[in-house]
Structure 1
């Protein structure tokens, strides 16, 4: 980052010049095209900004995939309590964030890097595009990828086309990275891996495994082929917390902390309360802060944490503000300096599921499952992992919203599997254990937890208490879940033909209840 920062400073201090005596007034320290190219600033300066846009803000992240994964919940009755969290779509902005702030500058970088023969920068930008679009397609389904940019016609890709394109592009990206592990050009712009191209190859390979797992039900042959390719690739996978892919916050505050502590708009979810307390999970302490009013936790005073049900009936914001915030350390930019994208725990859980499915090179399901739990406990500095993994009796607890009388917002836990591995159990039970632990470990990066819940049905999350869906955006039957976000209004208004084509490729109406390609609704095995 040093050269990038020096570049900005130099731009700011350059003095004005007169119309006369141009040669006399030529600044000897003027930044020239040649100096930009020499220091890679002509391409490298784009990357920190692109990475900073991968996660959305409050309305296109916290009140969307975070709430649908049920990690956090809001105490605020936005728009009279009828909003995204209760299945009526008010906000849908992730699309513009990704295309304006990631895809467009990435294409610009690629053009510059190709013209100056900098293949590692080219493939780095293309990897960011896959990261961006692999998340956006989990929202909408068909998106514009292969036809995006100056040479494309702007048409949407079907999801089948999209994933095949992702895998083909990863072949090339990993190949270039593997052949250039001694390249140092990324260093000044790479706050994630400090310019280590070998670690970027590991991330790209781990991303392949993640995307392959999404396809296990819709195209098991393709999923197996791509999954086994990732497992066999000599570049390796992220299997140590030292190799985790995190996005640096560049001195900014962790955005959910702003939502939580400055705006008071997010709190621990009731589902987190149910699962973490029921399982006696010590990760609850680095995840959340205990409540000050112990009357809120009379049913579990030894675990003084209280969450809000997702899609709750909310009368007034103040009713639930005393419930558990996220941990106060998240509010300190000096303590929380980066945000998790891909970590070792997720890779171990992917390998555990791959082993259940008989993929070559996956190893043993139990070993991978337990390694995933251990990696998550290590990442969060939580103790007691051995006792946790041996617990074959504890189950998540029922939830009581104590600020409202009666059964408002309450739910009965439906999870019947314990933490301890049971080799004699059937694959469905084993998968539930894997995905439930993967869900817990996904805290602060909930996208894949939402994907897994739609794909597998696990964890067995409670339905929203208040279902406000209607014919405007599609009706979600009682007890069912929202399955996607509709195409954005700007596309509907300005690219009606494209949205019509995308809807045909979606295979169902442009509604929140339409399943994505990989979300088949069929059996897991």
Structure 2
């Protein structure tokens, strides 16, 4: 008889999480040999929590860099600056993968692999779910770093390997796909299997949903091959579409984390000015097209009609002045915009001197739109009860991938239908995120509002194939607001939003010089494994696109071919 133990997320207070920037595989693998007595339930919860409890990443990477690269937000009150293009303090997910996420998931695989007979079969789905989480996390690390240790990364406690080889990204994509196929086969097998239950904080051990997620992940990784191996992309897409395990069928299937009320509050979850005001281009685009997500992404500024009337009565405006009801105003994205006289009024809080009740009074008004703090930090806007949502892979993202593949004739289907489903799913998903938080002053989108949005010329799935691809790319970008690492990835893959496009991305100009948007992170150095590290870097440089130095973050990883 197999005993199934459950571990709630609150029990993780008993677990110590390492948080060091040192990439030392010897120290990482010093722990005692893994035994079959270790609970997979404890290990899966620990790893999954580490995948989403990423406040350090949010403050030091997403707010300061990725959200600003994507032009979702702008630093306030001084605007963006050239420092955001220097080598940043990033890559903590890399460290987390080797110190707890990947290590613990590999331990689950090892625990199951040591079992025999019926026991091994009984635990096969536990192993499969660990594998999917491990592949996703490793893919996310490789996506921005290129070659990484994977096949030998967690072998020290098995065979003493302390200097693991770095697997090339080309090799990794093949390994990832094979591991996901194996996981799907285990999850769709018939029989009695051990279940994680609520120790699995994403799907509560639901094998069918994990199999769907694995298929979507296969497709997502394969899409990165579009610039390198179109035939392989086509083959994987065909297999995924024919898989009995299926794909996501709606927002209820998507891979995401929804917290309790005691999560993501203050500290590093708080952007603290680094990325707090909406980018002007995005806010204007969403406002002009009546995007139902506008109030889900951004808050109205403080320039209410009551404030206007007060200022007008106090003499700040002439008697003929008429109130402008628009309260969504973005901040210019380019560093040099700070010195542009046309934009001067948009930087900082505006002060008005008025006479009120016979007294001279100064009234300050923030005329810019802040991003919806509470969908990122539950401790903001009154520290109310609420739930934090972190998407991992969404139904909308999948729909946009299938729309693109259908448009290109790679998979059968109606590209317009997938596109419309994706837009609708994205709007409804963000509405759910805002409702759970709850966000401040948002409007719940209606079916009529969504249909009206889909009919807008800049949004409707019409025009040439190139125009349709641009619209798909723009919607992937909008849908990635809560996953800025995905926005960065899709920008590099698809090229949207683009300068001069439907959503007219602005050039970053600092001191008159165009700043190139970074395309990768520096691969963290491993002094304990320097020979393999140097070999990996030399191999990546051989393509001519990686750059002459590891620190050249405008260089490209293997999949990101020019």
Matched, 1:357 2:408: yes
What corresponds to 2:363 in structure 1?
none
What corresponds to 1:58 in structure 2?
59
Which among 517, 525, 550 is matched to residue 481 of structure 1?
Answer: 517
What corresponds to 1:93 in structure 2?
91
**TM superposition shift of 1:457:** 1.3
What are the superposed Cα offsets for residues 59-89 of structure 1, whole Å, 9 maximum, x if unpaired?
13333333323323322769x9453x2x101
**TM superposition shift of 1:119:** 1.9
**TM superposition shift of 1:114:** 2.7
Residues of 2 paired with 1:468 and 1:483: CA distance?
22
What corresponds to 1:21 in structure 2?
none
Residues of 1 paired with 2:323 and 2:268: CA distance?
27
Matched, 1:457 2:491: no
What are the superposed Cα offsets for residues 165-217 of structure 1, whole Å, 9 maximum, x if unpaired?
11111111111111158645111312221221100111110011111112112
> Do 2:149 and 2:166's aligned partners in 1 also have CA atoms closer than 8 Å?
yes
What corresponds to 2:537 in structure 1?
503
Residues of 2 paired with 1:457 and 1:6: CA distance?
39
Matched, 1:515 2:556: yes
Gaps of 5+ in 1: 13-32, 393-417, 470-476
Residues of 2 paired with 1:132 and 1:159: CA distance?
14
Gaps of 5+ in 2: 16-33, 309-320, 350-365, 379-383, 432-444, 500-504
SS at match of 1:64: helix
Residues of 2 paired with 1:520 and 1:252: CA distance?
43
SS at match of 1:282: coil
Residues of 1 paired with 2:223 and 2:519: CA distance?
18
What are the superposed Cα offsets for residues 356-387 of structure 1, whole Å, 9 maximum, x if unpaired?
221234x1111111111111122233231111
Q: Give the 5 Å matches for 1:279-318.
A: 279-293=289-303, 301-310=324-333, 312=335
Matched, 1:367 2:417: yes
Residues of 2 paired with 1:440 and 1:181: CA distance?
42
> Do 1:113 and 1:122's aligned partners in 2 also have CA atoms closer than 8 Å?
yes
More strand by share: 2
Mark the CA change 1:294 to 1:2 in structure 2 (over 3 Å): closer, same or farther: farther
What corresponds to 2:112 in structure 1?
113
SS at match of 1:246: strand
Q: Which moved further from structure 2: 112-121 or 276-285? A: 112-121
Mark the CA change 1:364 to 1:419 in structure 2 (over 3 Å): closer, same or farther: same
Q: Give the 5 Å matches for 1:218-229.
A: 218-229=228-239
**TM superposition shift of 1:326:** 2.5
> Do 1:309 and 1:465's aligned partners in 2 also have CA atoms closer than 8 Å?
no
Q: Give the 5 Å matches for 1:308-387.
A: 308-310=331-333, 312=335, 319=348, 323-330=368-375, 331-332=377-378, 334-361=385-412, 363-381=413-431, 382-383=445-446, 384-387=449-452
What corresponds to 2:204 in structure 1?
194
Residues of 1 paired with 2:327 and 2:468: CA distance?
30
> Do 1:141 and 1:516's aligned partners in 2 also have CA atoms closer than 8 Å?
yes
> Do 1:439 and 1:459's aligned partners in 2 also have CA atoms closer than 8 Å?
yes
What corresponds to 1:276 in structure 2?
286
Q: C-alpha root-mean-square deviation of aligned residues, in Å?
A: 3.7
Q: What TM-score results when the alignment is normalised by the length of structure 2?
A: 0.72
Q: What TM-score results when the alignment is normalised by the length of structure 1?
A: 0.77
